[in-house]
């Protein structure tokens, strides 16, 4: 029998409210050491608040657990020194150079040999040639590299990344994820929130939050299989009109236009096929059943009223 990997994150019943608004409601979350875990969910589902509780920036209203073996409540300061947290927005000084920003971070952590550490992290992030460039002059992708470099400068054991590639071009996103996988091979645990399904598929495991609760978890393949989703893909004429009609049809759980195709999903085959019958009878439209994608499942979850945030 395989011994389960030790847990980097092990929390139960986390709750956090701001005034009368409950943002996280009884969240249980476990992430194994060395794992890349994708954090999915609609805006307002509690992802950012959860990340901020895990790194010790927010104190839970209720719940308990550990992060890197340290108590989430009692050891918040110690947790912060062993975690790298990357916020949604670029949060470094744009009027300082890349080198100066990293030097500032190194001094905050009181790192020994910080010049050598900065040289090493610049090389790893591909920033060596940009060390004298002002941070404000960097493109979005290079700013994200700088932010990641600053996060790993103190050699954390856990990275908490909050939508790190939002607004970044596809090439820069791929290169950023190559860096994440390199770090994971060195034993760093990563919990990363994202709205990009291609990024979610690169994670060892994904968890889906809705209304501050974990509702789905597993590998991408497991999440798709457990959805029991049936998907039909249509091509042809008047797909926009078909989409409007199908959105209101019984048996249809989600409808999404992807370029020149229309993807329609549901969990009850008979009802779904009855809803599609008029469109499938048209000679100017072609409908084919395909395996559901993670994107189909994500849209289905976003459309499911049971999981409304």
Q: What is the mean pLDDT of residues 91-95?
A: 92
Residues in the chain: 309
Angle (nearest 5°) at CA 68 between 190 and 309: 55
Residue 299: per-residue pLDDT: 85
Q: What is the mean pLDDT of residues 194-207?
A: 93
C-alpha distances in angstroms, 205 versus 90, 223, 292?
Answer: 26, 9, 18
Best CA proximity match to 154, nearest among 112, 193, 98: 112
Domains located in the chain, CATH noted: 7-224 (3.40.50.300), 230-291 (3.30.70.100)
Residue 274: per-residue pLDDT: 96
Sign of the C-alpha dihedral, residues 205, 74, 47, 25?
positive
Any residues with CB less than 8 A from the CB of 98 and at least 6 apart, and which? Answer: 122, 127, 130, 131, 132, 133, 135, 138, 146
> What is the biggest distance separating any 2 CA atoms in the chain, rounded to whole angstroms?
72
Per-residue model confidence as pLDDT tens digits over 236-278: 998 988 999 999 899 999 998 888 899 999 999 999 999 999 9
Q: What is the mean pLDDT of residues 15-23?
A: 94
Backbone angle region of 215, left / alpha / beta, with phi > 0 → left and psi within -120 to 50 → alpha: alpha
Look at residue 309 and tell me whether its pLDDT is greater than 80: no
221-225 LR contacts (CB < 8 Å, sep 24+): 223/294, 223/297, 224/291, 224/292, 224/293, 224/294, 224/296, 224/297
Residue 306: per-residue pLDDT: 59
Do residues 45 and 28 lie in contact, with contact meaning Cβ atoms separated by under 8 Å?
no
* Distance of alpha carbon 202 from the chain centroid: 11
Determine the Cα–Cα distance for residues 271 and 49; give it in Å rounded to an integer: 39
Per-residue model confidence as pLDDT tens digits over 53-75: 999 999 999 999 999 999 999 99
């Amino acid at each position: 029998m395989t011994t389960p990997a030790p847990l980097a994150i092990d929390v139960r019943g986390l709750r956090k409210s701001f005034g009368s608004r409950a943002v996280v409601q009884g969240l249980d979350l476990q992430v194994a050491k060395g794992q890349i875990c994708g954090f999915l969910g609609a805006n307002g589902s509690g992802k950012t608040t959860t990340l901020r509780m895990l790194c010790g920036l927010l104190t839970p209203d209720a719940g308990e657990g550990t992060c890197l073996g340290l108590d989430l409540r009692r050891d918040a300061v110690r947790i912060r020194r062993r975690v790298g947290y990357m916020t949604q927005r670029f949060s470094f000084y744009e009027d300082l150079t890349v080198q100066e920003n990293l030097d500032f971070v190194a001094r905050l952590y009181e790192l020994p040999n910080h010049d050598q550490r900065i040289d090493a992290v610049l090389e790893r992030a591909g920033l060596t040639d940009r060390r004298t460039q002002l941070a404000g002059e960097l493109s979005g992708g290079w700013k994200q590299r700088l932010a990641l470099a600053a996060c790993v400068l103190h050699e954390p054991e856990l990275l908490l990344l909050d939508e790190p590639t939002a607004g970044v071009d596809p090439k820069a996103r791929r290169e950023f994820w190559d860096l994440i996988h390199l770090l994971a091979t060195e034993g760093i645990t990563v919990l990363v929130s994202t709205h990009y399904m291609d990024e979610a598929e690169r994670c060892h495991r994904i968890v889906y939050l809705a209304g501050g609760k974990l509702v789905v978890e597993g590998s991408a393949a497991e999440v798709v299989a457990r959805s029991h989703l049936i998907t039909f893909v249509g091509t042809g004429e008047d797909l926009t009109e078909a989409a409007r009609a199908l959105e209101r049809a019984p048996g249809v759980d989600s409808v999404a236009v992807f370029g020149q195709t229309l993807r329609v999903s549901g969990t009850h085959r008979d009802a779904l096929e009855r809803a599609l019958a008029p469109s499938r009878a048209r000679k100017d439209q072609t409908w084919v059943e395909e395996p559901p994608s993670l994107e189909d499942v994500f849209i289905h979850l976003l459309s499911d009223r049971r999981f409304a945030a």
